[in-house]
Chains A and B, each alone.
Chain A
Amino acid sequence: MAYERSSARTAGGLSAWWLRRMIETPQPLLERMTLFWHGYFGISNARVGNPEVVCRRLHELRGHALGRFDRLLGATVKNPAVLLSLNARNSRKARPETDLARALLEDFTVGAGPWSEPDLQATARALTGWHVSQWEVGFNPDEHDGGPKTLLGETGNWGREDVVRILLKQPTTARHVVERVCQWFISESNPPPENVVAPLAASFAKDYDLGLLVETVLRSNLFFSALGERIKSPVDFAVGLVRAFGARVPTLRLAEDLTTLGQDLLEPPTVKGWGGGRHWINRFTLLGRARLAQELLADAGAYAGKLEPETVAAKHGQGSTDAAPVFLFRLLVQEGVAEETRSALLQRLTSASPPQERLRRLAALIATLPEFNLA
């Protein structure tokens, strides 16, 4: 914790600490879901203005990541990072701030459809009086609008907890979360079919159990049949490569390199998170990914040669000249590459020097394949 506290003082330090955790964690699914929620709520450190407050929010997200969505949402509306990032530092009775209310409706719960302007105003009024001072959320009853409001058909003197309760009752809330989770794990290019979403949403709405939802999704036939319908984010790309070799790398530098590839961990571009999919890809980001793979695999330089293909192959009993390249393909792209591709790559390496150098370069070549960018 001491390491973490000192790293969270700067944005770069906090990103580096989180990346280290993603690389070294024995529970990758938990980190993956923490990143999912971070994008889902789209909190910007620049808007918050304090990495330590963002760090606390990340802990909160991790705590609820596979827990219960109702509790996560309840914690979200009380979190200072959320209020600051969404312009609700001080929402007063006379002038209710609508940005948090809008995000709460449109992005966090019911989605774009089922509400209109009066619901937005009702939500914003219910959240008045809550403010952030000294990086903590406080309540000023004088600034709270305690009058009657109608939110999605229910009328009462609603406050913050009522809003959360009413939003969780809406059937589209469960659906919204289910769709985002399917997009995260299964496919960015095709929306999940109705016969998958409907039962998932119906059962998720009963208890908002995220662990159960994620488990069901990961065990579904769709999950297995839809391999290759997502494009790796920069984090997926780099953390996946480093984890494949069981290595530890300097993550302060990695955080900077990932920013260049379009994923500054603390700055999702909007409250909707990262666009993902094809949005990650352009000519420069692909060249940048290729370069990063080379730097990660080089035997010296910024990443200090921490990824050791030869050692890893040998550890798995695949260290021979013939076996090691085959092992690397299986490690990085499983069976996802055509035989022609494999032999074309292997041919290119025949002239290379010592075996460990050859394997480093082969690994980098595999990581630059279009196939490696698919998840």
Chain B
Amino acid sequence: MTRPSRRDFLRGTLCTSAFLGCGGASGLFERTARAASAQADGRGTALVVIQLSGGNDGLNTVVPYEDDAYHRSRPTLHLAADHVHKLEAGLGLHPDMPAFAGLYHEGRLSIVQGVGYPNSKRDHPVAMRDWQTALPLEAMTQTGWGGRVADFAHTGVTTDVPSVFVGPIPPPFGVRAEQTVVPAIRSIDQWLPLPGWPVAGESAPFPRAALAVPASNPLLEFLRESTHRACAARDRIQESRLARSADYPPYPLAQSLKSAAQLIRADLGIRFYLTELGGGEIGGFDSHAGQALNHGSLLRELSESVAAFAADLQHDRLFGSVLVMTFSEFGRSLSENGRRGTDHGAAAPVFLAGGGIKGGLVGKHPSLIDLDQDAPRFHTDFRRLYATVLDRWLGIDSRRILGESFAPLEGVIA
């Protein structure tokens, strides 16, 4: 398969309707049938990455309920066969994840098992930074992989941004960019005028008539063009905000995904969404003590929020162009510690949800006998997963983002 080019990706970042400013570029970005990155209607595919902060316990998320070593090592935390939502191959989902079990049985959820990286770190900031930069060997890296997606598309001419962060915390490092300002979105209302402004009877805060005067210098021309495009984007956001929206549960993650769905509907050329569960920093998944209740409620928030997002987008036939991917900085130890918790580990499963994936289990469950310091060993480098979603889903040459070539995983994207 030929590698997707920068042009293929840029084409997908252009929104479909020909609003002001797009016209001139249409010749450059004419459609080709090749890349999966642009759907038939010209709408780009979108990737929604959910960061699970704190190190999610993979073994109590995708549970090897038939494995004796699992039950032996976790005297109080182990989940019994008749409580989990059974999938196949002796694996079941945590009891608080019926919503994911539903997606799984519909073929809209994949579980990539045993994901990690060589010499992985068990220190929160270091490991998290490795997953965020996708360059574990380069300590001075100043950008995240989502930020580099934005920089990659940055032309200095158009003012579209393909990456955003959505959530109530400061943006994580994963969207840190060098060339572009990656938006951090708490609510899409932040892009709209204050209610009632500027004046009664007017809908636009930017004075369109004023923009007709010829510009005296190229920077002013650029600002005018950008302002036109901002006006168009604002109108689309406004429209999308007023459009029908499904019911979302009252979780913070669900609200972030609802905002993402509104932006996807507004078709603004955003391709990479990052959001977060766990509260950032050393987040809620870091369950050294009294894990059971807390872990269950986080997994419920994750699965129900994603399921609501899926249902919302399916209603508008948009889930086929959206792929959700979770990640956490590490998994946890096989053995329960003395405080009904688990300690930092290595490999863990990654969830993929979307209308354009094959669904099912990808790769084997890691052995619970051959361990990496009491934690499941990785067999799939997370950068292969990133390469898969970059090359095969977003249509970006993954080498441009990851710095080297990683083989994409087969059997993931439909």
Contacts and interface: CB of A to CB of B under 8 A. Distances in A.
Interface of A: 44, 87, 99, 188-189, 228-231, 259-262, 269-271, 275, 277-288, 290-291, 294-295, 298, 301, 337-338, 340-341, 344-345, 348-349, 351-353, 358, 361, 364-365, 368-371, 373-374
Interface stretch (B62-70, B87-95, B175-183, B388-396): B175-183
Interface centre among A229, A283, A290, A337 (most CB of B within 10 A): A283
Contacts of B293: none
Given A260-B183, A348-B199, A352-B199, A281 B142 contact: no
A295 to B, nearest CB: 7
B119 interface: no
A218 B340 CA distance: 67
A93 to B, nearest CB: 20
Contacts of A229: 217, 219
Contacts of B226: 281-283, 286, 370
B207 A291 contact: no
A352 B200 contact: yes
A370 B268 contact: no
Interface string B116-147: 00000000000000000000000110110000
Contacts of B233: 283-284, 287
Nearest to A347: B209
A282 B232 CA distance: 12
Nearest to B193: A294
Interface stretch (B184-192, B252-260, B375-383): B184-192
Interface string B232-244: 0110000000000
Contact of A87 (B140, B154, B202, B215): B140
A262 B210 CA distance: 27
A282 B161 contact: yes
Contacts of B215: 370
B207 A344 contact: yes
Contact of A287 (B140, B179, B191, B211): B191
Nearest to B212: A340
A44 to B, nearest CB: 8
A275 B179 contact: yes
A294 B205 contact: yes
Nearest to B198: A361
B368 interface: no
B24 interface: no
17 contacts: A87-B139, A189-B218, A229-B217, A262-B181, A282-B180, A282-B183, A283-B159, A283-B160, A283-B233, A285-B183, A286-B230, A291-B192, A345-B210, A349-B198, A351-B201, A370-B226, A371-B223
B207 A345 contact: yes
Given A340-B209, A365-B207, A374 B223 contact: yes
Given A189-B218, A189-B219, A282-B160, A348 B207 contact: yes
Contacts of A285: 181, 183
B229 interface: yes
B219 A260 contact: no
A261 B161 contact: no
Given A231-B223, A348-B199, A291 B190 contact: yes
Contacts of A345: 207, 210
A364 B190 CA distance: 16
A352 B170 CA distance: 37
Contacts of A87: 139-140
Contact of B198 (A189, A365, A373): A365
A327 to B, nearest CB: 19
A275 B180 CA distance: 8
B268 to A, nearest CB: 7
Interface residues of B, number: 54
Given A269-B143, A368-B205, 18 more contacts: A44-B142, A262-B181, A277-B219, A278-B219, A278-B222, A281-B226, A283-B229, A287-B192, A287-B230, A291-B193, A298-B197, A344-B210, A349-B199, A361-B197, A361-B199, A369-B210, A370-B223, A371-B223
A270 B141 CA distance: 9
A271 B143 CA distance: 12
Contacts of B78: none
Nearest to B200: A351
A345 B209 CA distance: 9
B384 interface: no
A344 B170 contact: no
Contact of B191 (A280, A284, A348): A284
B224 interface: yes
Contacts of B205: 290, 294, 364-365, 368
A64 B118 CA distance: 46
Contacts of A290: 193, 205-206, 230
Contact of B180 (A279, A349, A353): A279
A353 to B, nearest CB: 8
B209 A269 contact: no
A168 B160 CA distance: 42
Interface centre among A228, A231, A287, A358 (most CB of B within 10 A): A287
A263 to B, nearest CB: 8
Nearest to B186: A260
A171 to B, nearest CB: 29
B227 interface: yes
Contact of A228 (B139, B176, B216): B216
A269 B184 contact: no
A75 to B, nearest CB: 23
A286 B232 CA distance: 12
B374 to A, nearest CB: 30
B371 interface: no
Interface centre among B140, B154, B192 (most CB of A within 10 A): B140
B197 A340 contact: no
Nearest to A298: B194
Contacts of A301: 194
B207 A288 contact: no
B156 interface: yes
B220 interface: yes
Interface string B143-177: 10000000000101001110010000010000011
Nearest to B155: A278
Nearest to A46: B173
